[in-house]
Amino acid sequence: MLGPHLILDLYGCRRDVIQDPKTIYRILDELPDIIGMRKISEPQVYKVPPNKHTFDKGGVTGFVIIAESHISIHTFIEQAYASIDIFSCKDFNLEKAIKYIADQFKPMKIEKQLIIRGKNFQRKIVTS
């Protein structure tokens, strides 16, 4: 396999967290170290304005590129919702990641999905 892709949907999050770009930056900056990953970029975080043509009333979106892949966070302030993806070509402690995220966002409910990516990926080196 290539690696795990953890998908989290957080409902009923603390609004002070999901609307603050500095807090989302801090979370993206700390999380790679907590789960044993290596950042290869600084977190990129953006306040997203409302889109009058959709349900989206604005939020914060951010990501950090890690040597093993990426971590992303997208928030929807009005719905007190956050979606978080952690994709890695290296195993990591899923429960540690979920606990850290739950401690930061304080959601009322978390939905978790784990996808094993690249089930037929060959890790051995092919030489010609």
Domain ranges of the chain: 3-49+57-117
Global pTM reads: 0.89
User: In this model, does residue 127 exceed pLDDT 70?
Assistant: no
Between CA 79 and CA 44 the distance in angstroms is 23
Between CA 51 and CA 56 the distance in angstroms is 6
Closest CA to 6 of 111, 103, 124, 108: 111
**pLDDT tier at 58 (50, 70, 90 boundaries)?**
confident
Higher pLDDT, 59 or 128: 59
**What pLDDT score does 97 carry?**
96
Between CA 23 and CA 26 the distance in angstroms is 5
Between CA 118 and CA 123 the distance in angstroms is 10
User: In this model, does residue 87 exceed pLDDT 70?
Assistant: yes
Side-chain-facing half-sphere of 91: CA atoms under 13 Å: 2
AA identity, residue 127: T
DSSP 8-state assignment for residue 119: T
**pLDDT tier at 128 (50, 70, 90 boundaries)?**
low
- In Å, how far from its chain's centre is CA 24? 10
The residues annotated as belonging to the active site are 69, 74, 89
Q: Which CATH architecture has domain 3-49+57-117?
A: 4-Layer Sandwich (3.60)
Between CA 32 and CA 29 the distance in angstroms is 7
**pLDDT tier at 77 (50, 70, 90 boundaries)?**
very high
2-11 pLDDT tens trace: 789 999 999 9
